[in-house]
A and B are shown apart, each in its own frame.
Chain A
Amino acid sequence: MVFNSIPFVIFLIVFFALWGFMNREDTRRWTFLVVMSFIFYGWWDWRFLFLVVGSGLIDYYAALAIVKWPNWRRTFFILSLAGNLGSLAFFKYYLFIATSLDYFFNWLGQETDFAKTAPGVTLAGVAGISFYTFQSMSYTIDVYRRRLEPTKNVLQFFSFLVLFPQLVAGPIVRAKDLLTQLAQRRMSDAHQKWNGIKLFAYGLFQKTVLADNIGVMVNRAYSPSNLEEGTLFWWLVVIGFGFQIYCDFSGYSLMARGIAKYMGYHLKINFNHPYLSDRFKEFWSRWHISLSTWFRDYVYIPMGGSKKGTAKALLFMSLTMIISGLWHGAWYTFLCWGALHAIYLATERILSVRKSPTDRFGLSKFGRILLVFLCVNLAWNFFRADTFGQAIEIYERLFSFRSGDAFFLLHFNALVFLILAIIIEVAYAFYLYSGKIRMTFFKKSYDVVFCSVALVMSLFFRGPAAEFIYFQF
């Protein structure tokens, strides 16, 4: 079930009505969390539960076996990785692999049609499979690296793996952070509850008001029947998608953190106003932080990180970005998106031995932020386009400087929300850089007003209900 739905409101009321009682004792707490999380996840399709249980059991027993039989630890670790990556490969990448094989064999002159044999289950997509698989893998990897003691209680393990606020779209939580929190009875005080409410209300606003309304224009623009060619229109669409995906995913993360905080748990920040970054490296330290750090710790550093010289560091970074692209979606457009970011980061790194390249061009901080923002948004086009051809066509329109049809009235609603999203980010920048504004804000309790307005706007100014974009990943 999705957060912005009536079933979830009922689910949440039932959950918190029972939480105080269920939280008192460890086994009772873990059982309750697992059962409620299974209801939450099974609401999409109860058959998905077999996959998450299977994937979880592999890692739970592999971690125990790694500790119990040290001589076989490597074997158990590889088995666990094979199980997780195999399940990802089958359920998420089957069609991509099959299509790629078809391309390859056709290129060799052999007629094949593997893609047509794809089982139905691989076409429908499993909600959140990449999130919980990565979370489960990090548990086994940490146990294998002797950084974590495995839990001996399967319920505690599953309450970590399937904790409903973050199950389908993160933040990706590390076992060492959450298992310890789940081991104790944690009660939220009024301050935590208020912070939880604030996070949830603002997340709901970001998702239902900003992302869903802007999405109307973006979805229409990217539909195959759209013939709009105007350059200004396409720039607004590309920037619109940049804000749609940001508000969609950041909104989900905020809601997840808000619910967890109300329960008494702390999930780390996942988005920190990435469009205010003035370097690409900084962008990646503010965007989907839990995934960026996952890739850093479990892919980039194990490859060798930056310790083997600049050339190898660039190669490892590029590979990491390309894998990250494929993590987001099983298609070539995602691969291109990852590769384009690798080019941005590599260029920045090469040119900035001492200085940022943007500094070298004499740009002000605002200029640097704008440059990074535009480059990141250009890359989003690969992320959103259905095909490689569509992406290229849109890039042509972006730089063709054609006037196009009048679109202002047709997309008036979406444009109003796009402007609102931009104003909110700019206002946050002022808030961030002005101590005076910050102090006034804290003293006057404006947060109560902002929070109420965000909630009420989510009720009345919501866009057409759409699933969170990141569920598919």
Chain B
Amino acid sequence: MSAGKKIVSFICLSILLTVCLGLFRPQKSYSEFSRDHFWTLKTHTSEKYGIVIYGDSRVYRGLAPEFVSSGTGLSCFNFGYSSGSMSQRMLDFADSHLDDTKTPVIVLGITPYSLTVDALKDQQFLQELNRSGYDKFQRMYIDPRLVFFDKIEPTDLFGMGTTLSEDHCTDGWVKTASPERNLSAGLESYKKSLSGNPIDQKAVDGLIRQIAAWGKQNITVIAYRPPTFDGMEALEDELTGFDENELASEIEAAGGFWLDLPNSGLVTYDGSHLTLESTIDVSQAINFRIKKLINR
């Protein structure tokens, strides 16, 4: 075969293989390109909403904006981040996305970890915030068009990949479904991340001050401890000294509303994050409270 023919054959064969592999690829738990687009959009969007949800991974996985805002007439976005803290930086970020509706609402999912020294570094948020101009451009505008080329891993081919499926929704929610239940998985990693990582009292004080300031601006603040399973709560309380009742009282005294959501009846798939069904239940509970408060 001549070199010219080889080049043509190479191009044709490469296109054919690309199309075949792209179309008949094994199912993946999430799209890498959609995920990158999701986080960059969440961080750099200038959109404003009537209801702003903020918290850590238990919040961005565990609150569905479409259910939270249902019937309120308000737009809603979930601004949760991995290890998202209750730092002033993040509270200001949440505040900057509130629109000028008459009844703005901020929903804060407060985990003990979100008040710890390590969480206050806001690593994921800052990593997204500090991306180069080109990186942002690529993630915002090019990546969503490349989903066809999402990568395949050997574990996908051999059916050894995770059974967790993630859908990165346009409202900031990561819709997560997992057929497996492994409560001890979360316990192990939280034991590591909470050891020697105490709650920062300054962060707690700052949070209370900010809730009071929001109250003065007629912004409704609904705070809650994202439900998980009892074993996890006990571990978190023990390792961080977190006192939920005390925090709830301080928030209520500052003008916020504390929503007590018991763990009973809710299910986690990894000992930390809620299953899809439980996420919808919690979102509906918060929706009920919002409607009650804004229609006072």
Contact flags A416-448 to B (C-beta < 8 A → 1, else 0) = 110000000000000000000000000001011
Contact flags A149-181 to B (C-beta < 8 A → 1, else 0) = 000000000000000000000000000000000
User: With an 8 A cutoff between CB atoms, is B234 at the interface?
Assistant: no
Q: Which residues from 305 to 325 on chain A have a C-beta closer than 8 Å to any C-beta of chain B?
A: none
User: With an 8 A cutoff between CB atoms, is A409 at the interface?
Assistant: yes
Instruction: Check B6 against A452 for contact (C-beta < 8 Å).
Output: no
Contacting residue for A447 out of B6, B21, B155, CB 8 A: B6
User: With an 8 A cutoff between CB atoms, is A413 at the interface?
Assistant: yes
Chain A residues contacting B2 (CB-CB under 8 Å) are 190
Instruction: Check B151 against A460 for contact (C-beta < 8 Å).
Output: yes
Instruction: Check B14 against A6 for contact (C-beta < 8 Å).
Output: no
A18 to nearest B CB, angstroms?
A: 20
User: With an 8 A cutoff between CB atoms, is B169 at the interface?
Assistant: no
Chain B residues contacting A459 (CB-CB under 8 Å) are 18, 149
B64 to nearest A CB, angstroms?
A: 30
> A residues engaging B (CB < 8 A)?
6-7, 189-191, 193-195, 197, 409, 412-413, 416-417, 445, 447-449, 451-453, 455-456, 459-462
A13 to nearest B CB, angstroms?
A: 14
Contact flags B148-184 to A (C-beta < 8 A → 1, else 0) = 0101111100101000000000000000000000000
Contacts A445-B1, A452-B13, A456-B18 given; does A193 touch B152 at CB 8 Å: no
Contacts A416-B154, A452-B17 given; does A197 touch B25 at CB 8 Å: no
Instruction: Check B17 against A413 for contact (C-beta < 8 Å).
Output: no
**Total CB contacts across the A-B interface at under 8 A:** 64
- How far, in whole Å, are A193 and B9 apart by their CA atoms in the complex? 14
Chain A residues contacting B1 (CB-CB under 8 Å) are 445, 448
User: With an 8 A cutoff between CB atoms, is B73 at the interface?
Assistant: no
Chain B interface residue bracket vs A: 20 to 34
Instruction: Check A456 against B14 for contact (C-beta < 8 Å).
Output: yes
Residue among A193, A417, A448 with max Cβ neighbours from chain B (10 Å): A448
Instruction: Check B17 against A456 for contact (C-beta < 8 Å).
Output: yes
Instruction: Check B149 against A190 for contact (C-beta < 8 Å).
Output: no
> Residue on A with the closest CB to B156?
A413
Q: Which residues from 1 to 32 on chain B have a C-beta closer than 8 Å to any C-beta of chain A?
A: 1-4, 6-7, 9-10, 13-14, 17-18, 21-22, 25
A240 to nearest B CB, angstroms?
A: 15
- How far, in whole Å, are A268 and B22 apart by their CA atoms in the complex? 36
- How far, in whole Å, are A195 and B10 apart by their CA atoms in the complex? 12
Give chain B's interface secondary structure class: helix
Contacts A6-B138, A456-B17 given; does A194 touch B6 at CB 8 Å: yes
- How far, in whole Å, are A197 and B8 apart by their CA atoms in the complex? 12
A12 to nearest B CB, angstroms?
A: 15
B184 to nearest A CB, angstroms?
A: 16
Contacts A191-B3, A456-B17, A459-B18 given; does A413 touch B155 at CB 8 Å: yes
User: With an 8 A cutoff between CB atoms, is B147 at the interface?
Assistant: no
Chain A residues contacting B10 (CB-CB under 8 Å) are 194, 197, 448, 451-452
- How far, in whole Å, are A191 and B4 apart by their CA atoms in the complex? 7
Instruction: Check A412 against B4 for contact (C-beta < 8 Å).
Output: no
B20 to nearest A CB, angstroms?
A: 9
- How far, in whole Å, are A52 and B33 apart by their CA atoms in the complex? 36
Contacting residue for B142 out of A6, A197, A417, A451, CB 8 A: A6
Instruction: Check B17 against A453 for contact (C-beta < 8 Å).
Output: yes
Instruction: Check A461 against B151 for contact (C-beta < 8 Å).
Output: yes
Instruction: Check B17 against A190 for contact (C-beta < 8 Å).
Output: no
Chain B residues contacting A455 (CB-CB under 8 Å) are 14
> Residue on B with the closest CB to A459?
B149
Contacting residue for A412 out of B6, B138, B152, B160, CB 8 A: B160
Chain A residues contacting B151 (CB-CB under 8 Å) are 460-462
- How far, in whole Å, are A204 and B57 apart by their CA atoms in the complex? 36
B77 to nearest A CB, angstroms?
A: 28
> Residue on B with the closest CB to A416?
B154
Chain B residues contacting A195 (CB-CB under 8 Å) are 3
- How far, in whole Å, are A193 and B10 apart by their CA atoms in the complex? 12
Instruction: Check A445 against B6 for contact (C-beta < 8 Å).
Output: yes
Chain A residues contacting B138 (CB-CB under 8 Å) are 6
A209 to nearest B CB, angstroms?
A: 10
Residue among B1, B2, B14 with max Cβ neighbours from chain A (10 Å): B14
> Residue on B with the closest CB to A454?
B14
Instruction: Check A456 against B4 for contact (C-beta < 8 Å).
Output: no
Besides A194-B6, A452-B14, 4 more A-B contacts (Cβ < 8 Å) are: A413-B154, A417-B154, A447-B6, A452-B10
Instruction: Check A460 against B155 for contact (C-beta < 8 Å).
Output: no
Contacts A449-B13, A452-B17 given; does A412 touch B149 at CB 8 Å: no
Instruction: Check A409 against B7 for contact (C-beta < 8 Å).
Output: no
Chain B residues contacting A413 (CB-CB under 8 Å) are 153-155
> Can you give 15 A-B contacts (C-beta < 8 A)?
A190-B2, A193-B3, A412-B160, A413-B154, A448-B6, A448-B9, A448-B13, A449-B13, A452-B10, A452-B17, A456-B18, A460-B21, A460-B22, A460-B25, A462-B151
Contacts A448-B9, A452-B13 given; does A190 touch B3 at CB 8 Å: yes
B4 to nearest A CB, angstroms?
A: 4
Chain B residues contacting A461 (CB-CB under 8 Å) are 151-153
Chain A residues contacting B152 (CB-CB under 8 Å) are 460-461
A340 to nearest B CB, angstroms?
A: 34
- How far, in whole Å, are A447 and B13 apart by their CA atoms in the complex? 12
B143 to nearest A CB, angstroms?
A: 10
Contacting residue for B4 out of A190, A417, A449, CB 8 A: A190
- How far, in whole Å, are A460 and B22 apart by their CA atoms in the complex? 8
A42 to nearest B CB, angstroms?
A: 13
